[in-house]
Structure 1
Amino acid sequence: MSGGGALSLVDYAEEIVRSGFPAIRQLPPRARRAQLDGYLNRIVERDFPEQGHLVRRPDTLRGWLAAYAAATATTSSYNAILDAATPGETNKPAKTTTTVYRDVLSQLWLLDPVPGWLPSRSAFSRLGAAPKHHLADPALAARLLGVDVPALLDDSAPDTPVRRPGHLLGALFESLVTLSVRVYAQAAEATVHHLRTWDSRHEVDLIIQRADQRIVALEVKLSPSVSDDDVRHLTWLRGQLGDDLLDAAVITTGSEAYRRADGIAAIPLCLLEP
């Protein structure tokens, strides 16, 4: 495996904020931001009532959406997201209210979480089932958090509602990769999951499972290079699955695709193909 790509970290940050919506991504930046804001406002002001749910506290719903955006690529609990959306408030919405938020936003295809992988055949006995949070488009997460390309690149975004490991750009890059992988997986009649052991000792960002139960495993790294530490969860998984693991790769921001001596591939996102 070999090949070259020409996208830089700046290019990837710009791709995140450009949006994947065809009618929006070609607009000038100011018009694009206005369209994304309008889309989010319509969900709160029109789509929720049309689903039979009157939003009595629109600011709380908007705060919940921002907290969910801040939790991108994490498995933060929904209670933690609610607490982050309503800091200092003693009269928080009931859990049933936030369940409605989650369900309606999922029905509207705004939330697009990646479920935990629970294989039907393997030696695994204790895997986490909590979903990894993603919005349908990373540009929506960027708008909800009020960040642009410079803020993403220097990590100068305002404090996000949910505490998260690593940089926000890394989380939104993972969301961009996830969006691409889901498109390819759907075409291949495969499903997409993430893996986390119950004790969090091992995590794999994306598990693509075919109908025959065999899988491809992907890690996502906001880095142009791949270290031994970056592949340790993939090599562990290969030892667990044997021939059921078709392939494993790290998706990077680098310029070259290659296969390491240990058999793990390194693939720039711009070269990822189904």
Structure 2
Amino acid sequence: MDYLRRSIDSELDELLPVAPALAIDGPKGVGKTCTARRRADVTWSLDDPSQREIARADFALSSLSPGTALLDEWQKLPQIWDSVRRHVDDGAPAGRFLLTGSAAPVDPSGTSGAGRILSLRMRPMGLHERGVVDQTVSFSGLLKGQVAVQGNTEFALPDYAFEIVRSGFPGIMQAPDRLRAGLLSAYLQRVIDRDLPDQGYAVRRPETLRRWLAAYAAASSSTASYSRILDSTTGGDGTQPAKTTTIAYREHLTQLWLLDPVPGWIPANNAIRRLQQAPKHQLADPALAARLLDLSASALLGPVGAHMAGPLFESLVTLGVRVLAQTEQATVSHLRVDSGAHEIDLIVQGIDGQILAIEVKLAGQVDAADVRHLHWLRDQMPDRIADLVVITTGTTAYRRPDGIAVVPLALLGP
């Protein structure tokens, strides 16, 4: 398929002409290598044993030809990171090195590139990157508090259900339904059988890990406690993994960027008391959650999977918002007061401290109850609010009389 431009391409356009070394990190299959190769003059594929041996014999990187060098899957030979760092210290020119990695190194000692190698996160494709919709509402404009909210779309709930299960992995999303489901299952199995052992973690009971992942998927877009997730992992024989085992699962799956929780928002000079810091659970891609739960697009629209349609739509929104926010150097969190009296699905904080608050609603219509927490936040810190938004599955983008923007996800773009 033709290359679909990614949001990270804008970051690379800006940074590669001025930065000697950039690292692109993210889970397998998100397109890191494809995106990086378009900008590289020479590539060392370090997941190839023969290429890795050549690199092992040349840690000084003296045999690299001039231009931009891509060191793909650098974590397979972590010493390469130090070699790049030394070149940067010695005055490497802008755009000299691109590194891509699908996991944090098993032994990160000695691999600090602080101040030398800039890391960029690459996630699966948000809806705005998939080439299926034309956007009319600018995320950047919303974050700056200066955007027109307008446009119409024919994208409807069945289309969103399809995009949830379709995935944002470029090599999977174009496959026919049955093949795509098989590829997602194989992706998860590879994590268990190969990627975790490559990280130095031997999975003694693969089925137990898969049950825990399914329980985690069922908790998508919630702040369910890890003990509650653990309770949901009990097998047919009444057994469940030890708490220490599930802690190891979380650590190693996070190293592989398979888990992508949204942290609780704790603003500087906090004017809001009793904010909860527990993360909202998210997998790297909502399609992985749907596959773990054996949910098709049709199931999400019917009685079997209706209970997960809202959480997984929020997962799809969260994925797209995080991709867009990164381009703007913004962070994404969620807000929940300990008592549960106030919750906001996503808090985007811009580089200047401005706030874009987002609620997610599966339906197309928005009423007063859907925006009451947004009104509350505006009352708490009126000087910091750039905009307030409800993202829906509706057909029209507009502003309510109270100034809150209502934006169908299909219309939200850069």
Question: TM-score band, normalised by the shorter chain?
Answer: over 0.9
Aligned to 1:235: 375
- Please state if 1:272 is matched with 2:388: no
Alignment partner, residue 213 of structure 2: 65
Does residue 134 of the first structure (1) align with residue 282 of the second (2)? yes
Aligned to 2:225: 77
1:201 aligns with 2:371: no
Q: Any conservation in 2 of the 1:137–1:176 contact (CA below 8 Å)? A: yes
Q: Which of 309, 322, 325 is matched with 1:185 structurally?
A: 325
Pair 1:47-2:178 in alignment: no
Per-residue deviation, residues 175-199 of structure 1 (Å, max 9, x unmatched): 0000000000000000000000010
1:22 to 154, 160, 170: 170
Q: Given that residues 208 and 240 in structure 2 are in contact (C-alpha distance below 8 angstroms), is that contact kept between their aligned partners in structure 1?
A: no
Contact 2:396 2:408 in 1 (8 A): yes
Q: Deviations over 1:93-130 (max 9, x none)?
A: 22221111001111111110100000112311210000
Matched with 1:163 is none
Give the match's secondary structure for 2:382: helix
Aligned to 1:79, what secondary structure does the other structure show? helix
Unaligned runs of 5+ in 2: 1-148
TM-superposition CA deviations, 1:194-213 (whole Å, max 9, x none):
00001000000000011222
Residue aligned with 1:193, SS: strand
Aligned residue pairs total 266
Aligned to 2:334, the other structure's residue is in SS state strand
Match of residue 259 from structure 2: 111
The answer to whether residue 320 in structure 2 is matched with residue 172 in structure 1 is no
Q: Structure 2 vs 1, CA of residues 143 and 88 (structure 1 numbering), >3 Å: closer, same or farther? A: closer
| Distance in structure 1 (CA, Å) of the matches to 2:256 and 2:343 | 29
* Inter-partner Cα distance in structure 2 for 1:90 and 1:167: 25
- Aligned pair 1:100/2:248, yes or no? yes
Q: Which amino acid aligns with 1:223?
A: A
What secondary structure, in the 3-state scheme, does the structure 2 residue paired with 1:121 have?
coil
Shift of 1:89: 5.8
Deviations 1:130-152 (A, max 9, x none): 00001110000000000111110
2:183 paired residue among 27, 35, 60 = 35
1:12 to partner: Cα distance: 0.5
Which amino acid letter does the alignment assign opposite residue 252 of structure 1?
T
Tell me: CA distance 1:89–1:125, structure 2 relative to 1, closer, same or farther (3 Å): farther
Match of 1:213 among 325, 332, 353: 353
Q: CA deviation at 1:91?
A: 4.9
Amino acid at match of 1:233: H
Number of the residue aligned with 2:273: 125
Local SS of the residue matching 1:248:
strand
TM-score by length of 2: 0.63
Give yes or no for contact 2:264–2:280 (8 Å, CA) kept in 1: yes
Q: CA deviation at 1:88?
A: 6.7
Runs of 4 or more off by more than 6 Å in structure 1? Answer: none
* Post-superposition offset of 1:167: 2.3
Task: Output the CA distance in 1 between the equivalents of 2:182 and 2:262.
Answer: 28
**Matched AA of 1:109:** W
Is the partner of 2:387 in helix, strand or coil? Answer: strand
Percent of aligned positions that are identical? 59
Matched-pair contact (CA < 8 Å) for 1:155–1:169: no
Computing the radius of gyration over CA atoms, which structure comes out larger, 1 or 2? 2
RMSD: 1.2
Separation of aligned partners in 1, 2:365 and 2:239: 48
Does the 8 Å contact 2:233/2:240 carry over to 1?
A: no
Q: What's the secondary structure of 2:364's corresponding residue?
A: coil
3-state SS of the aligned residue for 2:332?
strand
Tell me which of the two structures has the higher relative contact order, counting C-alpha pairs closer than 8 angstroms and 6 or more residues apart. 1
Secondary structure at 1:219 match in 2: strand
Secondary structure (helix, strand or coil) at the match of 2:413 reads: coil
